[in-house]
Amino acid sequence: MKNRRLLIRILGAAPLLALPALASMPLPRRKPSGADDLPLLVLDAGHGGRDPGAIGTKGTYEKNVTLDLVTEIAGQMSGKARVKLTSENDRFLALPERVAFAREAGANLFLSLHADSAPDSSARGLSAYVLSDTASDDFAGKLAEGENIVDERYGADVAGNAAVADILYDLAARQTISASRFARESLVSGVGGDMRLLDAPKRSANFAVLRAPDMPSLLVETGFLSNSADEDILASTRERKRIASVLARELGEILQNPLFS
């Protein structure tokens, strides 16, 4: 992480236009290492506590879906990564607290997992998002707007939070964005054979939870509880185990890349 922060300053002058090519560039695999040398994956269950997140038409709570998924994923990452959860139980965490936890832990990759309501109720399937000050499309922009007002809606006091100022100091951190885009591309491509994908599943927007300038970050919508078909899948314990298995497999592959060392 210290090296990454140094590189942020060095790469700050690098042309942003070069990032798409860099993000898709194949890189050598990480060499096998001991457990203590494995990359650290921090998993964040979207919503929690007094914030239920989306509530499906059949009563499924997003916070229950996401907490179960991150717990299942963590259990399947043995030998692939060290894993920490921003929370291991159903409690409210403000968005800056989630990011600060992952940064302080020294995460090589931060993944925030969701199952929100979509701006379009017909939308269904998995999608992945990276940070951008301009949304890739109206759909992603509206999702980000809904997520970013969660703290205000549920009474979190983040005014004057020093971590927030630090997190926002450089939204264009070149290496971080490159690694985040690589993770998005790889995850979507990898899960496509096993899970339904949203139309144009690789998107970007200004999600507050993705704003760490020195930590690759990804937000994944595993589906949308506003869609009854997605809700049926996400409400099923068996299906959640399957989804977790697919995500754990792909995350293990992603974390072998030197971008996450």
Across the range 209-231, mean pLDDT stands at: 95
**pTM of the predicted model as reported, rounded to 2 decimal places:** 0.84
What fold characterizes domain 34-260? Aminopeptidase (3.40.630)
- C-alpha closest to that of 61 among 110, 117, 121: 117
| Span 51-105, pLDDT tens digits | 999 999 999 999 999 999 999 999 999 999 999 999 999 999 999 999 999 999 9
Q: Cα separation of 217 and 205, whole Å? A: 12
Taking the domains of the chain in order of start, what are their residue ranges?
34-260
- Token pair recorded at residue 254: 């992603």
